Chain A
Amino acid sequence: MRQPVDILAPLAFFIMVASLFPLGIGPDKSLLLRIAPGIIWVSALLASLLGLHRLYETDLGDGSLEQMLLCPGPTVLFVVGKIAAHWLLSGLTLALISPIVALQYGLERASLWTLLLSLMLGTSIFSLIGSIGAALAVGGRGGSVLVALILMPLYVPVLILGSGALTATLTGADPSAHLSLLGALSCAMLALAPWATTAALRVSVE
């Protein structure tokens, strides 16, 4: 994740995909408003998957991964640091530009806040779970497609909760149930994902 392209490409992808859908579907305002949650979230999900497989690749390649695993300190902290960096650079930025993208679908203020909050939580979970997938597949033959295949089922609950929160706001209901579940999932993954990632990384350098 050292090159600017690793950060910019997923963002560009997200903007492109979310902008393509109205072109494919038609400018019907009410329809676009109804499908906006799903489309924005799926675009965010796909964009998150884009650069993930390279998360540990360069570290494995130049030997720094082995160094980190041999370090006397807990490897988990290194992993948390990597995930945090990934999220801050790609997930958080994606969440921050999402309201601009959402304007194309006619979303208003309240829903934009829900979108921002849900995507901030959602992308953090994407980064956490994604790190497990990246660590499992690193050094193998499968590229981004394998990582996407592995992670897709695990991302589904986030997608459901996230777009559910947005749909709730759009229909006037309260999204706090969805958002609090997203928050809970984020905390749970923060506790579990670094350990799973460390285990996977140890397997990769054996």
Chain B
Amino acid sequence: MQSDSGSLIAKPRSRLFAFAALPNFFKLVTRLVPAFTIVGIVAGLAGAAVGFLVAPTDAQQGEAYRIIYLHVPAAWLSMVLYVAMAMWAAIGLIYNTRASAIMAIAIAPTGALFTFLALCTGSLWGKPTWGTWWVWDARLTSELILLFLYIGFMALHASFDDARRADKAAAILAIVGVVNVPIIYFSVKWWNTLHQGASIRLTEAPSMATPMLIGLLLMTLSLWAYAAAITLQRAKCIVLEREREAAWASDFAKEL
């Protein structure tokens, strides 16, 4: 199998399709990873400094609220990553591009990790504030279900030997999942009410003090950049694993 899947499309409708070819994709990603890593580290240090050193104490929850700087970005990212994964899956199915499918596969473990982190930090936040290690509120329960969606995706992909079959089946599952996520979310919300109302809404002024908001946004940026970096690095691994035999891969190896 030649590694020039981009040639399936005779005249690329946009230059972006050049990156559907795995060697081009690989070169692009190699340049992106260090950039994202640096953003992640800088934003992370800044966000942690603002959130843990500068921001004031919360009136009701005391210092325990500072877990918000870890829990909320992780939770947001777990959901954003799932949507991104479904988007790459859809692109991969529609245009039959392997690079897009590989992006979806690469996102999944990171998305699952962030979901797990959201659950852990949510639990550690819940113990001092609500008194128990687990609370069946709408957000945490939805996160738990999201974790199962990620695990199901990864398990389905792992159950096939043929990489393309696995990619496509998992892609369909991701799309079915993303369509169901609103249904799941609203049914869980109906099932239970309690979680503290979102302090950041797109249409309203945030009810948090400004240093808190800045810290939160910086931490979100940091975790997002980290997720991008690690996902792209993992995508490189997948490309190398699949394209071992290809000529361009051995050229790349000779450069090392």
Instruction: Give complex CA distance A132, B175 in Å.
Output: 12
Stretch at the interface among A14-22, A79-87, A198-206: A198-206
Per-residue CB proximity of A132-172 to B under 8 Å, as 1/0? 10001101111000100110111011001100100000000
Residue A185 at the chain B interface, CB threshold 8 Å: yes
- Are the C-beta atoms of A206 and B165 separated by less than 8 Å? yes
Residue A196 at the chain B interface, CB threshold 8 Å: yes
Return the contact of A157 from the options B151, B152, B159, B187 (Cβ within 8 A). B187
In the complex, residue of chain B having the shortest beta-carbon distance to the beta carbon of A138: B169
Q: Which residues of B contact A146 (CB under 8 A)?
A: 152, 155-156, 159
Residue B44 at the chain A interface, CB threshold 8 Å: no
Q: Which residues of B contact A199 (CB under 8 A)?
A: 172
Q: Which residues of A contact B165 (CB under 8 A)?
A: 203-204, 206
Instruction: Give complex CA distance A121, B179 in Å.
Output: 20
Using a Cβ–Cβ cut-off of 8 Å, how many residues does chain B contribute to the interface with A?
A: 30
Residue B191 at the chain A interface, CB threshold 8 Å: yes
Return the contact of A150 from the options B146, B155, B158 (Cβ within 8 A). B155
- Are the C-beta atoms of A132 and B156 separated by less than 8 Å? no
Q: Which residues of B contact A192 (CB under 8 A)?
A: 179
Return the contact of A137 from the options B159, B183, B191 (Cβ within 8 A). B159
Interface of B is mostly: helix
Q: Which residues of B contact A160 (CB under 8 A)?
A: 187-188, 190-191
Residue B117 at the chain A interface, CB threshold 8 Å: no
List residues 40-94 of chain A with CB under 8 A from any CB of chain B: none
Instruction: Give complex CA distance A199, B159 in Å.
Output: 18
List residues 113-152 of chain B with CB under 8 A from any CB of chain A: 145-146, 148-149, 151-152
Q: Which of A140, A152, A192 has the most CB of B within 10 A?
A: A140
Q: Which residues of A contact B177 (CB under 8 A)?
A: 153-154
What are the 5 tightest A-B residue pairs by CB atom distance, in nearest-first order? Answer: A140-B159, A157-B187, A142-B159, A150-B152, A203-B168
Given contacts A146-B155, A150-B173, 8 further A-B contacts (CB under 8 A): A136-B156, A140-B169, A142-B156, A153-B145, A153-B177, A164-B191, A199-B172, A203-B172
A contacts, CB < 8 Å to B: 132, 136-137, 139-142, 146, 149-150, 152-154, 156-157, 160-161, 164, 185, 192, 196, 199-200, 203-204, 206
